Amino acid sequence: MLWIKAFHIIFVVSWFAGLFYLPRIFVNLAMVPADSGAERARLLLMAKKLFRFITPLGVLAIGLGLWLWFGFGFTGGWLHAKTALVIGLAAYHVWCGMLLAEFASGRSTRTHVWFRFFNEVPVLALTIICILVVVKPF
């Protein structure tokens, strides 16, 4: 069980590295002047590669979490609350993919300020999830 939990945490950390950095690229993309095609293309390429890289990491993090849950009999309100937050994170990940598609097609209209707030969502989720799984308050 400990090997599974170790790899669960490894993939969680790797997934979150991307969930923290991808919206930061969006902040920069939203600030690129219209005549800076080269900078926009460079940032778009970075975002596309990062999104493709972190998607399997997220799937593995969640898959190993479910293995821990159903394979080792964990129970408790903390696990249900954690899973609800993780479903929210998975939706956030998919939303990042849709926002990336908007940037790629030139349809993105949101400001860099909006993306700065958007960037804080994974920070808040990580904080609550780690308290739930380590402290198990309920």
Nearest distance in Å: CB 56, ligand HEM: 14
- Choose between 5 and 48: whose C-beta lies nearer to ligand HEM: 5
93 is a contact residue toward ligand HEM (CB under 6 A): no
Interface with ligand HEM (CB under 6 A), residue from 32, 50, 86, 96: 86
> Within 13 Å and on the Cβ side, how many CA atoms surround 9?
8
Binders of ligand HEM in range 34-63 (CB under 6 A):
61-62
The stretch near ligand HEM (CB under 6 A) out of 7-15, 26-34, 48-56, 100-108 is 7-15
Q: What does the alpha-carbon distance between residue 14 and residue 133 come to, in Å, rounded to a whole number?
A: 18
The stretch near ligand HEM (CB under 6 A) out of 31-39, 42-50, 94-102, 123-131 is 123-131
Asked whether 92 and 117 are in contact (CB, 8 A), the reply is no
126 is a contact residue toward ligand HEM (CB under 6 A): yes
Asked whether 18 and 78 are in contact (CB, 8 A), the reply is no
DSSP assignment letter at 136: -
Interface with ligand HEM (CB under 6 A), residue from 53, 74, 92, 118: 74
The residue whose two tokens read 């400990």 is 2
Q: Which of 130, 104, 96 is nearest to 23 (CA)?
A: 96
Asked whether 24 and 119 are in contact (CB, 8 A), the reply is yes
Interface with ligand HEM (CB under 6 A), residue from 111, 130, 131, 137: 130
- Choose between 92 and 118: whose C-beta lies nearer to ligand HEM: 92
